[in-house]
Amino acid sequence: MSEKVEHVKCLIIGSGPAGYTAAIYAARADMAPLMYQGLQPGGQLTITNDVENYPGYPDGINGPQMMIDFQKQAERFGTDVRFGLVTKVDFTGPIHRVWVDEKTEITADSIIISTGAAAKWLGIESEQRLNGFGVSACAVCDGFFYKNQDVVIVGAGDTAAEEATYLSKLCKKVTMLVRKDEFRASKIMADRVLNTPNIEVMFNHETVEVLGEKAVEGVLAKNNKTGEEITIACTGFFVAIGHKPNTDIFKGWLDMDQTGYLIVEPGTSKTKIPGVFASGDAADKVYRQAVTAAGTGCMAALDAERYLTEIGKH
């Protein structure tokens, strides 16, 4: 049984750069936003050690600290930030209904989705243990730290090819492990990789273990055809096997692409349901950066404010 239903003007589902930025804008516009942080308060940045590409931090900042700063700023203007996971939604009527942790029911005039995405991992113990200590799922975020060093990247699709090419401009050597005997990437991206002198592609190879005690020192890889194992010395290990947006609870309610990214009206944060807006990595499979997520969080709050004014709730 649900407890007493709580009603809010603006509900923000998920935290991170998009959610917190939406909260800052919504709170300053007197929308009294309520935010549920989700399973990973602060989002993917909480597993990122150094953030050096966000404007305004000339000396860089630690990812978890940055999210604490974002949260404080949102709370300063009156955002009600709560720990909890939205587990079910009902977007049938003009008043949107959601359930938190399968029991608390909240109704809202407007909803901003900022549930983010999660990198897909290989699922080996050493990869998780060294995550942030040489293991990364974002070449654009972390490639700079491996200037003139040797790195390994795993993946076979367009993202992997693009990230390998990006790393090749910074690193001395990039070794690319491709599980099968061909790329999944488009021909143009695959050709670009194959024509880059400092990228070595090892087809039919997969990762057995990431080596190193406190930081990445190498990778143990296995040839799928011969069973032969090889040690590759490196200081960085990049996983580029895709991302999964955290959007399962919106299936059947909102339009999404085949991977699960929410589809919004171009140039806006509007989903197909009036009053429901999407921001951040849940709706962005192209850029996936903290600064772009923050930008779409701002858009979502402004779109929500306009919507509330139109329906006479603000």
Q: How far apart are CA 290 and CA 301, in angstroms?
A: 17
Of the candidates 163, 177, 156, the residue with the CA atom closest to the CA atom of residue 234: 177
Whether 270 contacts 264, CB under 8 Å = yes
Q: Are strands 104-113 and 276-278 parallel, antiparallel or unpaired?
A: parallel
* Candidates 10, 141, 171, 234; catalytic one: 141
303 labelled catalytic: no
Question: How far, CA to CA in Å, does 20 sit from each of 3, 45, 71, 96, 97?
Answer: 27, 12, 6, 21, 21
Count of CA atoms in the C-beta half-sphere (13 A) of 54: 21
| Assigned token pair, 25 | 């804008």
171 labelled catalytic: no
* Candidates 138, 150, 158, 298; catalytic one: 138
27 dihedral zone (left: phi>0; alpha: psi -120 to 50; beta) = alpha
Q: What residues have CB less than 8 Å from 117, skipping those under 6 apart? A: 44, 243, 244, 245, 246, 261, 281, 282, 285, 288
Q: How far apart are CA 9 and CA 167, in angstroms?
A: 45
Residues tagged active-site = 138, 141-142
